[in-house]
Structure 1
Amino acid sequence: MVDTLDTTRTIAMAPSLMTMDLDQFKEQITFLNDKVNMYHIDVMDGHFVPNISLSPWFIGEVRKISNLPMDAHLMVTDAEFWVDQLIDIKCERINMPSEVINGKAFSLIGKIHAAGLKAGVVLNPETPISTIMPYIDQLDNVMIMTIDPGFAGQPFLESTLDKIVELRRLRDEHGYGYEIEMDGSTNLKHWKMISDAAPDTYVIGRSGLFGLTDNIEDSWNQMVGEYEQSTGYRFNTGR
């Protein structure tokens, strides 16, 4: 199998730190630092989604033991409040909920860019791409949720993969500069169909990495094996 794997594809991996084992925080981050491309930080306010999760403060804790970029996923009703906090700590990529920024999307994107950071938006499963078309050319990242947001372990929604394919078509046709990220139930059951849709960045959580074994190295090796067996591609993050 090793000799027949396709080596033409490079993918970016962003472990979702909401799903890691916090009692192994330092051990897991230290192991992943030279293997992944960035860390995915979920910020929830208890209103946009019913859960409350990580905060900008947590990014500072991760930075004590990692120099990798931070990829913030805002699930909040007051996007500007949280964007300002993330700008203050220079979070490298800030992904805003498209459903709440209508009327101020250009100003928020401009504010993020003025700080030298990357601006992204998130499309939840029921939100169409048409929502972001007025400013799609300004974006550095578009994140597609393949599950309902707010909690890990939600059912995978295969139809959302069509948005990834459409975003790639639009990017190729118009020369847009955004990357395409997917988030939700990235695991053995779905590796093949996600790979066929071909996002640039994979958010990986408990079902695909942190929950596979009780040891991060064993879990990583299992994840790599499952990806390669399912997709036929050599696992390569460019690290």
Structure 2
Amino acid sequence: MKKVEFSPSLMTMDLDKFKEQITFLNNHAGSYHIDIMDGHYVPNITLSPWFISEVRKISNLPMSVHLMVTDPSYWVQQLVDMECEWICMHAEVLDGLAFRLIDQIHDAGLKAGVVLNPETPIETIFPYIESIDKITIMTVDPGFAGQRFIESTLNKIVALRELRAEKEYQYVIEMDGSSNRKSFKKIDAAGPDIYIVGRSGLFGLDDDIAKSWDIMKKDYEEMTGKAIPVN
């Protein structure tokens, strides 16, 4: 059975219980998903490099940063300096920047990811797909939690899996948006490697993070018939 990874979206965590939730998740999650929004690419302004440094104080899990920004080149070196394991940029703003920024990330010994909005075809990233370590498929519009799940986006996950097998590419495939009990079965059928879980799939299930994780685990296993691996 293919092992899947669950990456909690820290934008949706309860910041009043920051240390408690991170301490628990350190022993259960595979990585942390950290959204940085600039208020331009999307209307919201959320987490920052400072937030990453606070998580680093109490966690050794890999950090996967999702840049929802108009100018990724402004942010990449900051994240390189912080040694974020994954730096993921939106394909829609990479025209004229992709090769340089991917090389900048790789030269630092880190991994480069690209993110595709629901409307963006996978062909957009074909010029540099061989260089990418991770492809994130947005199953909702970017920038807000709790949006409607766009089922048609799952076709891109299937296509990327087939392309990876055919071309022997090395990227992992991640999905981002409304990953929860209602969608687990459909997502599992598409077959991503990493599930990003936010408020509807994890943090909003109970006030206690351990109980929330148990509910998420039960939901996933009941809907897919597969067990979440223990880290």
TM range (shorter): over 0.9
Counterpart of 2:126? 133
**Runs of 4+ in structure 1 over 3 Å off:** none
Q: Distance in 2 between matches of 1:68 and 1:186?
A: 21
Counterpart of 1:35? 28
Cα displacement (A) at 1:104: 1.5
Counterpart of 1:63? 56
Mapping of residues 155-194 of structure 1, within 5 Å: 155-194=148-187
Q: Are residues 1:89 and 2:86 paired?
A: no
Counterpart of 1:22? 15
Counterpart of 1:231? 224
Cα displacement (A) at 1:199: 0.2
Residue type of the partner of 1:224?
K
Counterpart of 2:114? 121
Q: 2:47 aligns with which of 54, 70, 76?
A: 54
Q: Distance in 2 between matches of 1:234 and 1:138?
A: 32
The two structures, once aligned, show a CA RMSD in angstroms of 0.6
Greater length-normalized contact order (CA 8 Å, ≥ 6 residues apart):
1
Q: Distance in 1 between matches of 2:61 and 2:206?
A: 24
Q: 3-state DSSP class of the match of 1:223?
A: helix
Q: Distance in 2 between matches of 1:163 and 1:145?
A: 10
Q: 1:77 aligns with which of 62, 70, 74?
A: 70
Structure 1 gap ranges (5+): 1-7
Q: Deviations over 1:75-121 (max 9, x none)?
A: 00011011111111111100001000111101110000000000000
Contact kept in structure 2, 1:9 and 1:233, CA below 8 Å: no
What is the percent sequence identity of the aligned residues? Answer: 64
Q: Distance in 1 between matches of 2:33 and 2:227?
A: 23
Q: 3-state DSSP class of the match of 1:153?
A: coil
Q: Distance in 2 between matches of 1:188 and 1:95?
A: 26
Q: 1:99 aligns with which of 82, 86, 92?
A: 92
Cα displacement (A) at 1:214: 0.7
Q: Distance in 2 between matches of 1:126 and 1:84?
A: 28
Structure 2 gap ranges (5+): none
